[in-house]
Amino acid sequence: MPEFPSPFSRADDSLFDRYHEFVPENLPEPGPFLDGHDVLTDDRHTAFHRLTKRLFDERGVYDMTFGYNLARLNLDDRHPAAGYRYAEETDDSSTLRAEFTPTTPFCPQSHTLTIGSFRAWNGLSDRHEYDRVRVRVHPMHQQSTAINDRLDELDARYRDTGRIDEASESATAGSRRQPGSAGGEQSPF
């Protein structure tokens, strides 16, 4: 999927690391969801992140503020403390944990972006080595508890059914509202 214009984006590629480069100073520190687990670094991180770019392209996981695939946030040197970090679970290396740190504590897209990420990774699980990818937003986000409760619910349903469509349909049944919203239905993904 091509990138699209945004008033906050620039086409200047010099602002971005390359997908094959592991640049720790341009990545968020692993947060509490990854504590005690095997955090991916170097080639392990970059390999999974290159795959993430392809899956996010296919599933349309785009940051509307910056006008690019969400995976590119990890490479944007203007936001070195934002993006995804990954860790294999210590007790189950077939499960990957992914923690999203948004650019601000009030990022209005964090709910949609993390659910979209969850659906991309787990809906296309035949493309990677993990049986399941668990996703959470970093607790620095003002709505992290509500967003992570929703992600936990999706994850539990996916773990029980093995199907991404049942996980999201069951979790969105009823008239639940997006965390922090004044109205409106939750995103269908």
- pLDDT tens for residues 60-102? 999 988 899 999 998 898 899 999 999 999 999 999 999 999 9
Taking each helix axis from N to C end, the angle separating 164-172 and 110-123, rounded to the nearest 10 degrees, works out to 150
Residue type, 155: D
| Sequence-separated (6 or more) residues with CB below 8 Å from residue 116 | 56, 59, 60, 61, 70, 187, 189
| Residue found by looking up tokens 């499960």 in the block | 95
- pLDDT one-digit tens code per residue, 15-36: 676 777 887 888 999 999 999 9
- Alpha-carbon distance 52 to 46, whole Å? 9
The alpha carbon torsion through 134, 20, 108, 10 (nearest 10 deg) reads -170
> 7 pLDDT exceeds 60?
no
50-to-21, 47, 148 alpha-carbon distances in Å: 10, 5, 25
Beta-strand ranges (E) seen in 32-117 are: 38-39, 62-63, 68-69, 83-89, 92-101
> 59 pLDDT exceeds 60?
yes
- pLDDT one-digit tens code per residue, 154-181: 999 999 999 887 555 444 433 333 444 4
pLDDT, residue 14, reads: 61
Taking residues 134-145, what's their average pLDDT?
98
Under 8 Å between Cβ of 180 and 109 = no
Q: Which range has the worst mean pLDDT, 68-77, 116-125, 129-138?
A: 68-77
Mean pLDDT over each residue of the chain, to the nearest integer: 84
What percent of the chain is modeled with pLDDT above 90? 67
CA angle 38, 43, 45 (to 5 degrees): 50
- Alpha-carbon distance 164 to 67, whole Å? 26
pLDDT, residue 26, reads: 87
Under 8 Å between Cβ of 103 and 95 = no
pLDDT, residue 30, reads: 97
Under 8 Å between Cβ of 3 and 76 = no
